[in-house]
Amino acid sequence: MKNNGKLMGTLLAVGLFLAFTASMMAQVKTETATTAGAASKVAKVVRGEVVYVSGNDLVVKMEDGEIRHVTVPAGATATVDGKTITVEDLKPGMKLEKTIVTTTTPKTITEVKTVTGTVFHVSPPTTVILTMENNQNQQFKIPKGQKFNVDGRMVDAFELRKGMKVSATKVVETPITEVTERARVSGTGPPPPPPPPVDLPILIAETAPAPAPAAEPAPAELPTTASPLPLLGLLGVLSMAGGLGLGKIR
């Protein structure tokens, strides 16, 4: 039972603290505004040649010879030879050019806090306790040089008196710099293969000539259509030679 009582007391204290904090926050009005200055842009161009590509892994040789391994994010596109492609369309030999435009914009965040209440107690120049609209007292730390509006007159903490209805405004300006980058990738396809050297012969297919027909063998005997005159002349010569031989013997 004692533990339960302590737990209930702790929860009640936490609840009252949160309620009090919310009440205090409600008494201070805060307005925030952001103003932007003139933006400046810087463009940077890097170039390289695709050496290897597998899935989303890309290896590129840069202009200075550096080899870079890049993991291409899903959905990334490039414009190559006027066509929009993805990493799946990249091939070794493609020339890529990445243009990175960096935009730097100076901005100022202005936070205006306004509090209104009745002076309950003041300890110049450090603190003041005000009774808020909900009749709760709230203590504030007085910033250096803080002025209070009392019936349209601006006074410092030393002029505050109990019962005065005052309003105070605190302005805090925080400068920031917003930097954004926009990248665009373009390129060209791999070059065509080089022509063969001029000092090397180029083979040209030609049709081989048809082989000449084989000569027919000569006939073993004269054809029947040949003339008998040559044979008769040969027999006459042989007869004359024989007659001459017989005359010499006699």
Return the bridge partners of 155, or none: 148
Domain extent listing, the chain: 43-104
According to the model, what pLDDT value does residue 211 have? 67
pLDDT at 227 exceeding the cut of 70? no
According to the model, what pLDDT value does residue 236 have? 59
CATH code of 43-104, in short, is 2.40.50
According to the model, what pLDDT value does residue 49 have? 93
- How far apart, in Å, are the Cα atoms of 60 and each of 53, 83, 88? 9, 20, 15
pLDDT (tens digit, 9 = 90+) per residue, 6-61? Answer: 444 444 433 433 333 334 444 678 899 999 999 999 999 999 999 999 988 999 99
Which residue's structure tokens are 């990738």? 185
According to the model, what pLDDT value does residue 81 have? 87
Residues 6+ apart with CB under 8 A from 129: 119, 120, 121, 122, 137, 138, 139, 140
Of 196 and 146, the structure prediction assigns the larger pLDDT to 146
Query: The pTM is what?
Result: 0.50
pLDDT at 173 exceeding the cut of 70? yes
Q: What angle do CA 143, 170, 121 make, to 5 degrees?
A: 55
Among candidates 106, 104, 85, 95, which has minimal Cα distance to 43?
104
pLDDT (tens digit, 9 = 90+) per residue, 53-91? Answer: 998 899 999 999 999 998 988 888 989 888 999 988 889
According to the model, what pLDDT value does residue 134 have? 87
pLDDT at 215 exceeding the cut of 70? no
Beta carbons of 92 and 52 less than 8 angstroms apart: yes
According to the model, what pLDDT value does residue 44 have? 92
pLDDT (tens digit, 9 = 90+) per residue, 92-139? Answer: 999 999 899 999 999 999 999 899 999 999 999 999 999 988 889 999
CA-to-CA distance for 229 and 235, rounded, in angstroms? 10
pLDDT at 3 exceeding the cut of 60? no
